[in-house]
Chain A
Amino acid sequence: MLPLELKDVCFAVNGRNIIDCVSVQIGAGPRTIILGANGAGKSVLMRLCHGLLQPTAGEIKWRGGNGNRRSRQAMVFQRPVMLRRSALANVVYGLKLAGFAAGECDLRARDVLEAVGLERQADRPARILSGGEQQRLALARAWALGPEVLFLDEPTANLDPGAARDVESIIAAIHATGTKIIMTTHNLGQARRLGDEILFLSQGRLVERAPVERFFRAPAAAEAAAFIKDELPWQ
């Protein structure tokens, strides 16, 4: 269903443009990082792309074959929302909604739990798992669907460094299986480690798009340069 095309997309609340006339085309392949300071509009932009919010102006289109099939995209939120049932049942829940055959769900769910290192927690209630485990479970629930596109909204923002590392390596593994990664972060290190290209957002506007290496070496937009300088004052 890729590429995803945004044409003059705005999202206004009470007359204020939280997303301000963003136009961009996001194609298959490279991992796309949406970078920006807190409050820049990253989460809102991602919800617009995923279809959880409707733009107040402009349009969002999936240009590829099959159009927009909901089950072909998945999203992992900053704070994982776990259902009051076992870890395994949380993954199975998503699979059933996506239309997987009942017999297939269990097997598929166990496979993906193993892939994120949660096979021993499969039968434990999801909501009493640690924060890091819950985020891995959220990744498993999304990955199990075999999505063409995976949206990740600051997936490590609430985690300690160890748990964040686990999550990053799972994201890399998901990318390696051919899923398009679109992720927000305000963490430069993470953007560098996980990104191939950067979309830099400032006050709701898309001010720069560049390959990661070029973005950090020579940011073109003044806002981007200032953000990098603020975040890495020793450079």
Chain B
Amino acid sequence: MTDLIRAFAEAFDLISRLDAKLIEIVALSLAVSLTAVAIATILGLPLGALFAVGRFRGRQMVIVLLNALMGLPPVVVGLLVYLLLSRAGPLGALGILFTPTAMIIAQAILITPIIAALSRQTIEDAWHEYEEQLRSLGAQRLTASVTLLWDTRFSLVTIILAGFGRAAAEVGAVIIVGGNIDGVTRVMTTAIALETSKGDLPLALGLGIILVGLVVALNAGASVIKEAALRRYG
């Protein structure tokens, strides 16, 4: 019990004096996951709008597939990206395995379906409400899509934040394609896994506290944004 208390005390100490190693790991985590979520947003939102508003053969199947992809296990994504980027793989020549770039690619693949599938649902709901009005005003599907993206912007922010939370909290993909190299590809989740197995509980706990804090703050932020927007814009 005292060990646990001491570990917590040391963890808070690390956080409060902004321990250099801790900060480095947190910073890399944020850089990787924020970049991944930016890429996933740029890809996922247009895809979501396309599947929401578009009418094409096989649409229903694509949507089922997309929803299924939301549940992709991170380790499987990690494995696939590893196979692509490993020296013998099709993209091996790039030489980016075990770099932050590889981690960004893996996380982007992991969360693009999440952002696309959730935004598809949100945009399609709005489309049901708006369709006749927008068609009456002469909006083509492309214009309508842009309008819907803008009109659902507060819900979309929540979705993007959920994607970021998922990226920042996953360990399976980044540990495989990043390799958890100290000072190069070590992020919060991989560091927690390693430090715990090594018995360095304070650092693991400190990172864990920050990670949980981040997830809580994101969710709180998302609901605050949505509430405020609802009150302000209806």
Contact = CB atoms under 8 A, between A and B. Distances in A.
Nearest to A50: B136
B133 interface: yes
B233 interface: yes
B129 interface: yes
B136 to A, nearest CB: 5
Interface stretch (B41-49, B53-61, B92-100, B137-145): B137-145
Contact of A83 (B135, B136, B147, B232): B147
Interface stretch (A31-39, A68-76, A171-179, A198-206): A68-76
Interface string A75-89: 101000111110000
Given A77-B133, A81-B130, A83-B151, A125 B234 contact: yes
Contact of A81 (B133, B152, B153, B233): B133
Interface string B63-97: 00000000000000000000000000000000000
A125 B129 contact: no
A126 B133 CA distance: 15
Chain B interface helix/strand/loop/mixed? helix
Interface of A: 47, 50, 52, 70-71, 74-75, 77, 81-85, 93-94, 97-98, 125-128, 141
B132 interface: yes
Contact of B136 (A74, A125, A127): A74
13 contacts: A52-B132, A52-B135, A74-B136, A77-B133, A83-B147, A85-B233, A93-B147, A94-B137, A97-B138, A125-B232, A127-B233, A128-B232, A128-B234
Contacts, number: 49
Interface of B: 129-130, 132-133, 135-139, 143, 147, 150-153, 232-234
Given A70-B138, A98-B137, A84 B233 contact: yes
A98 B143 CA distance: 12
Given A81-B129, A83-B151, A128 B136 contact: no
A155 to B, nearest CB: 14
Contacts of A70: 138
A94 B135 CA distance: 11
A75 B136 contact: yes
A176 to B, nearest CB: 23
Contacts of B153: 84
A64 B38 CA distance: 52
A125 B150 CA distance: 14
B137 A125 contact: no
A127 B126 CA distance: 14
Given A83-B147, A84-B234, A128-B233, A97 B139 contact: yes
